[in-house]
Structure 1
Amino acid sequence: SILAGILFFLQGFGLGGVIASFGLVLDLIAFVLFLIFVLVSSVILLTRQNALPGTAGGIE
């Protein structure tokens, strides 16, 4: 997430304008890293939610 943010920052503040294809590559790498971060965090959240009902000891 931090790396994706840095790459979006660099691309947004003119580094992508210097060499157009380099900016597109930075943008693509940052977007893919962001999607991977969202996917992994969603999977972790879903697995934690599935594990929580069994840990409370039947309290409802």
Structure 2
Amino acid sequence: MPRPGSHKYDTERARTRKRLEDEGVASDKAADERAKEELRERGMRPAKATERAEGPKGER
């Protein structure tokens, strides 16, 4: 799954937002919030950091 802030996530959020605007969601802000919620429901969440991701100097 793409992480928030990545290009793929932003592209998907923009497509979802456009679809919501076309369906008649009142404002841009409301469409943006609903798009974020939809992506969260679909499982597009940031990956949890693991010990392996920290690397040899990650404990500092």
Bin for the TM-score computed over the shorter chain: 0.3 to 0.5
Which structure dedicates a bigger proportion of its chain to helix?
A: 1
Bigger Rg, structure 1 or 2: 1
Query: Which protein, 1 or 2, shows the higher relative CO under an 8 Å CA cutoff with sep ≥ 6?
Result: 2
